[in-house]
């Protein structure tokens, strides 16, 4: 199934929704795909993984919007090549932080397009303000470590420095803290004796490209439920 949106002049997208089909006991019911926005700062490999997953038959979500704070982000090129609407937003000069104005702008873009889920994919700023408040419980992030260990930047190097035998990646809900939201999915990666940050990061990234689409599929399919800090996955 083609996930491309069919952009109109000026970068606007057609206000149409793509159906997906799920099996029922009797017959087949048509359902609308959940619209997701991805926020990325860099090359966008997890953005790409999500977009490609949305091509799969029966996948219950579509990437409707890419937002970046970096006009040179590689993710923007992939979006242009694949007909995904994109926007670049100045989040302010302070590294690692975003302005409240930029948060308002992001929220407005998402609201106009009917975005139901926001996915952070290498967004190098702490999310706050309007978009965090309005998408509470509807915003995901992926982190290259087994949370709650090794939060923040350079989780792979932190794992090496600590000497753990296993690390991995975590998909979690986003809250006001740094990598502190409830955990949805984790994938485990063995740490080899001769690993460098680069070699370990490469193997973790391969698992990220599996974990993130899986988490979004579960969420969009209605299989995710939270009870306090616990995330329960229902049988499919």
| Residues labelled as active-site residues | 143
What is the spatial order of strands in the sheet that 86-88 belongs to?
A: 86-88, 61-68, 34-40, 117-120, 139-143, 166-173, 183-190
For tokens 């063995």, name the residue: 190
Token digits for 212? 């993130």
DSSP string, 121-187: SS--SB--SHHHHHTTTSEEEEESS-TTSS-SS-HHHHHHHHT-SEEEEEEEE--SSSS-SPEEEEE
Find out whether 156 and 145 touch, Cβ atoms under 8 Å.
Answer: yes
User: Which of 153, 104, 95, 154 has the alpha carbon at shortest distance from 128?
Assistant: 104
Helix (H) or strand (E) holding 230: strand 230-233
DSSP class of 33: P
* Beta bridge partner(s), residue 182: none
């Amino acid at each position: 199934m083609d996930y491309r949106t069919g952009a109109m002049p000026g970068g606007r997208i057609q206000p149409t929704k793509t159906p997906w089909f799920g099996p029922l006991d009797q017959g087949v019911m048509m359902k609308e795909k959940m619209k997701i926005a991805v926020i990325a700062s860099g090359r966008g490999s997890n953005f790409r993984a999500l977009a490609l997953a949305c091509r799969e038959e029966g996948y219950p979500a579509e990437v409707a919007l890419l937002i970046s704070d970096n006009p040179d982000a590689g993710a923007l090129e992939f979006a242009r090549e694949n007909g995904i609407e994109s926007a670049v937003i100045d989040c302010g000069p302070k590294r690692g932080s975003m302005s409240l104005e930029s948060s308002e702008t992001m929220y407005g873009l998402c609201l106009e397009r009917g975005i139901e889920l926001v996915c952070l994919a290498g967004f190098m700023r702490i999310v706050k303000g309007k978009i965090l408040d309005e998408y509470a419980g509807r915003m995901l992030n992926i982190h290259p470590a087994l949370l709650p260990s090794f939060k923040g930047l350079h989780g792979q190097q932190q794992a090496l420095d600590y000497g753990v035998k296993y690390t991995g990646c975590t998909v979690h809900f986003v809250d006001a803290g740094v990598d502190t939201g409830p955990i949805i999915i984790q994938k485990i990666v063995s740490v080899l004796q001769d690993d460098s940050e680069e070699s370990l990061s490469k193997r973790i990234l391969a698992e990220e490209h599996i974990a993130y689409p899986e988490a979004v599929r579960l969420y969009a399919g209605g299989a995710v439920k939270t009870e306090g800090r616990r995330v329960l996955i229902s049988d499919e």
